[in-house]
Amino acid sequence: MPELPEVEAVARTLRPLVERRKIRCVHVIHAIATKPQSSSYVRRIAEGQRIQSVQRRGKYLWLQLTQGIVTLHFKLDGRLLWFPSAKEMAEVENPHGSGVHLDVVFELDKGLLGFADRRHFGRVHVWASEAACPALAGLGLDAMSRDFTAARFAELLEGSKRPLKEFLLDQKRVAGIGNIYSCESLWHGRLDPRRRADSLKSAEAHRLHKAIVSVLARALECCLHPPPDFRDPEWWFQGLEDILRAYDREGKPCRRCGEPIRRIAQGGRSTYFCAYCQK
């Protein structure tokens, strides 16, 4: 599932392609992608509007329109496609006569933006404003924003009795960190994921904050080299596994102390950590 760095890389790559462009028409090819909103409602809100900017908060990406917004939530496998013309889209669509999967297509005054999720978990929704979208309104501090300071983060930790791993996954407190980067941040911060959030000493809270900031920055660099290729339906982020130190490394030696990385279940998700050097 794309977390903050992946979505930020998508936002940065998308901006020059769609900002200032007008949405001429919205084609909802698979109605499930806009559920529970109807395709006619999506068209009514979005058609004829200009895309003023591409915004991101947490794992959410949205298009700020002249009036209203379009949210794009990728869930597990959702992705964006962009083509300069319908002709080029049709060519990619039928390279072997099989056809590329597309759920929603925004026909712009220059280019076409497609949203695709073969597994149909991803969603495209329209809202009257940012505040009217419950998912956006409920998000906490964005982990890559200027407001995400060590002091603010320490306050949030003090207010939670939950294990550190579950605390980091709670999008209502800090937005953007998922299963992968929570494991990585705790490994870099040398903290046991089972510890209670409010048990951290000031120095430990600072260490974890620093770890989160650097883990996300490094992942973003990786996601931008190479940047997302919206013209390739098979494109996906590359090289992320090379920067991971804990996630998905069960049984492999810890890169710090050499002891095997352990996997445990926390809140129904897998946590990977080193029980020897994460205290």
Total binding residues toward Zn ion, as defined by CB under 5 A: 6
Active site residue 2: yes
Say if strands 174-175 and 141-142 run parallel, antiparallel, or are unpaired.
parallel
Tokens of 275: 């029980």
Supply the minimum distance, in Å, between the C-beta of residue 174 and Zn ion: 24
Residue 239's region, left for phi above 0, alpha for psi from -120 to 50, else beta, is left
Active site residue 3: yes
Q: Rounded to a whole number, what is the distance in angstroms from the first to the last CA of the chain?
A: 28
Segment 68 to 97, residues that bind Zn ion, using CB under 5 A: none
Please report, for residues 208, 245, 274, the alpha-carbon distance to residue 241 in angstroms, rounded to integers and kept in the order given. 21, 9, 17
Active-site hit among 56, 59, 165, 207: 59
Binding of Zn ion at residue 186 (CB under 5 A)? no
Between 128 and 257, name the residue whose CB sits nearer to Zn ion. 257
Question: Which of 163, 158, 169 has its CA nearest to residue 194?
Answer: 163
Active site residue 234: no
Active site residue 269: yes
Binding of Zn ion at residue 277 (CB under 5 A)? yes
Q: What values do phi and psi take at 242, rounded to 5? A: -70, -25
Residue span binding Zn ion (CB under 5 A) among the ranges 39-47, 198-206, 225-233, 271-279: 271-279
In the shown chain, the binding pattern of residues 223 to 262 toward Zn ion, with x for contact by CB under 5 A and - for none, equals: -------------------------------x-xx-----
Contact 173, 140 (CB under 8 A): yes
Supply the minimum distance, in Å, between the C-beta of residue 63 and Zn ion: 43
Other CB atoms within 10 A of residue 251 CB: 8
Would you please indicate which residues are annotated as catalytic (active-site) residues? 2-3, 59, 269
**Interface positions with Zn ion (CB under 5 A):** 254, 256-257, 274, 276-277
